[in-house]
Copies of this chain bind each other. A is one copy, B any other.
Amino acid sequence: MKNNYKEIYDRIAKLQCALQKHSIDAAIIAQKIDLFYFTGTLQQGLLFVSNEGEPLLFVKRDFDRAKIESPLKYIYNLKSMNNLPQFLNEHNYKTQTIAFELDVIPYNLYRRYSAIFPNAHFVDLSTEIRKIRMIKSKTEIEKIKKSGELIEESFLELKKNIRIGMKEIDIACELEYLARKKGHMGLVRMRAFNQEMFFGHILSGTSGLLTSYVESPTAGEGQGAFFSQGAGDRVVKENEPLSIDFVFCYEGYLVDMTRIFYAGEPSKEYRNIYNVAKEIHQTIVENALPGITCNEIYLKTLNIVSKHKLEDIFMGPKGKQAPYIGHGVGLELDELPVLAKNIDDKIEENTVFALEPKFFIPEVGIAGIENTYLMTDKGVLLLTKYSDDIQIII
**What is A's interface to B at a CB cutoff of 8 Å?**
30-32, 36, 40-44, 61-62, 65, 69, 100, 102-111, 124, 126, 169-170, 172-173, 176-177, 180-181, 185-187, 189, 193-194, 196, 198-199, 210-213, 219, 223-228, 230, 251-252, 320, 331
Decide: A251 and B226 in contact? CB cutoff 8 A: yes
Decide: A320 and B40 in contact? CB cutoff 8 A: no
| Minimal Cβ-Cβ distance residue in B for A65 | B212
| Minimal Cβ-Cβ distance residue in B for A199 | B186
Decide: B187 and A196 in contact? CB cutoff 8 A: yes
- Distance A176 CA – B187 CA, assembled complex (angstroms): 13
- Distance A178 CA – B301 CA, assembled complex (angstroms): 42
Chain A interface secondary structure, helix, strand, loop or mixed?
loop
Decide: B228 and A252 in contact? CB cutoff 8 A: no
Give chain B nearest CB distance to A78 CB in angstroms. 13
| B-side contacts of A109, CB under 8 Å | 193
| Known A108-B124, A170-B181, A227-B252; further 19 A-B contacts with Cβ < 8 A | A36-B226, A42-B226, A42-B228, A43-B212, A44-B194, A62-B210, A62-B211, A62-B219, A65-B210, A65-B211, A65-B212, A106-B106, A106-B107, A173-B180, A176-B176, A176-B177, A185-B227, A186-B227, A224-B251
Known contacts A107-B107, A186-B198; is-contact A225 B36 (Cβ 8 Å): yes
| B-side contacts of A62, CB under 8 Å | 210-213, 219, 320
| B-side contacts of A251, CB under 8 Å | 223-224, 226
| Minimal Cβ-Cβ distance residue in B for A41 | B225
| B-side contacts of A44, CB under 8 Å | 194, 213
Give chain B nearest CB distance to A66 CB in angstroms. 9
| Minimal Cβ-Cβ distance residue in B for A169 | B180
- Distance A331 CA – B106 CA, assembled complex (angstroms): 20
Chain copies in the assembled complex = 2
Decide: B223 and A65 in contact? CB cutoff 8 A: no
- Distance A185 CA – B232 CA, assembled complex (angstroms): 10
| B-side contacts of A212, CB under 8 Å | 42-43, 61-62, 65
| B-side contacts of A196, CB under 8 Å | 32, 187, 189
Give chain B nearest CB distance to A153 CB in angstroms. 15
- Distance A224 CA – B139 CA, assembled complex (angstroms): 15
- Distance A288 CA – B386 CA, assembled complex (angstroms): 57
Chain A to chain B contacts (Cβ below 8 Å), 24 pairs: A30-B194, A32-B196, A36-B226, A40-B225, A44-B194, A61-B213, A62-B212, A62-B219, A65-B210, A65-B211, A65-B212, A102-B106, A102-B111, A103-B106, A104-B193, A105-B107, A172-B180, A173-B177, A186-B227, A189-B196, A223-B251, A224-B251, A226-B251, A226-B252
- Distance A110 CA – B114 CA, assembled complex (angstroms): 15
| B-side contacts of A103, CB under 8 Å | 106-108
| B-side contacts of A126, CB under 8 Å | 108
Decide: B181 and A226 in contact? CB cutoff 8 A: no
Which of A41, A109, A226 counts the most chain B CB atoms within 10 A?
A226
- Distance A169 CA – B186 CA, assembled complex (angstroms): 11
| B-side contacts of A219, CB under 8 Å | 62
- Distance A169 CA – B227 CA, assembled complex (angstroms): 26
Give chain B nearest CB distance to A268 CB in angstroms. 31
- Distance A199 CA – B100 CA, assembled complex (angstroms): 31
